[in-house]
Amino acid sequence: MELVFRAATVHRQSFDPSEVQLSQLLSVKTGGCAENCGYCSQSASFKTGLKASKLMPVDEVLTAAKAARDGGAQRFCMGAAWRDLKDRDVPALANMIGGVKALGLETCATLGMITPDQARALKDAGLDYYNHNLDTSPEYYAQVVTTRTYQDRLDTLEAVKNVGMKTCCGGITGMGEARADRVSFLHQLATMSHHPDSIPINNLVPVAGTPLGDKARIEGGISGLEFVRTIAVARIVCPQSMVRLSAGRNEMSEELQALCFMAGANSIFVGDQLLTTPNPERGSDAHLFAELGLKPMTMA
C-alpha cells in the first residue's frame, strides 16, 4: 500500500492523474519472424497456427490509422514481425509514417533491429517513437530468446536516441522470471542515459505452441498485485516516462486496472487486437474510464 501511495505521489509531480494516453497498435507485417522469442506467436520457430503475411499496402494502413484516430486514439503504432529492418522496406514504411503523421496522430513503429542510417530515415519520415523492448533482465534473457543479444537491443535503442527520436522500451512479466529479474529489468531502464519516453509493461498472454506460453499455462504467471508492484516501481524510477498498461489487460478486472492507474500507469492500448492477442473492447474501456473519472490525455 505504501509503494502504491509513493508511486501515485511521484505520478502527480509530472502528470495529471485523471488523464490516460490512448494508443492503437496495428500489425503491418505478421508472422514468419526469424527470432525465437519464447512468448511470441509470430516466431517461425513455433507452430502456433498463425499464418505469415507480407507487408500491408500503405493505403490499408492509412485507412486503419484514420479509423483509430476517429475512435479516439492519439498515437498509432505499426509493428512488423522482422528480426531486423531491411533497407528495401524503408520507402514503404516512410510512406506509412508520413501518411499517419498527416492524419494528426503521433507515430510509433516496432520493426526489429535498425541501423543508425535507418533510424535517421525513419525520423526524417516523421516517426516520433521507436519501440524496442528489453523484455526482461539481462540475467534471464537467455531463457526468453537466443537469436539476438541483450546488447543488440541496447544498440538499436542507442541508434534511435542518437537521431533525436523518442524511445518506447519495456518488458513482459509472467514469463517464469523471478522478482529479482523484474527488479533488474527496471534497473536497466532507470540507469539508461535517457529514460525511455514510453515504458510498456506487458503481462504474458500465454499462446499455445510457444515455449513460455505453454509453460505459463501449466505453472501460471505472476499475481495481479505483483504486476501492480511492477507498474509502481516503473513509475517511481522513471518518473517522467509514460508507463503503459499493455498486453494482458483483457484478462484483468476493472479493480486490478484501477490499481495500476493508481500506481502510475497513464497509457493503454485501445482497439480489440494487440498484434495477435486480444485487447478489451472500446465499450469496456469507456465504461472503465467513466467509473474511474479518467479521460483521454490532452495532445500536446
- Give the residue numbers marked as catalytic: 33, 37, 40, 77, 108, 168, 244
Among 236, 45, 234, 71, CA closest to 145: 45
**Closest residue by Cα to residue 37 from 274, 218, 204, 222:** 204
Question: In 10 A of CB 269, how many CB atoms?
Answer: 24
Query: Which residues fall within 8 angstroms of residue 194, CB to CB, at 6 or more apart?
Result: 161, 167
Identify the CA nearest to 250 among candidates 226, 276, 229.
276
User: 140 and 181 in contact (C-beta within 8 Å)?
Assistant: yes
Q: 100: number of CA atoms within 13 Å, CB side?
A: 36
Contact 16, 50 (CB under 8 A): no
CA-closest candidate to residue 100, choices 19, 179, 24: 24
**Cell 489487460, residue located:** 249
- The residue count of the chain comes to 300
**Helix axis angle, 90-102 to 58-70, nearest 10°:** 30
Contact 139, 184 (CB under 8 A): yes
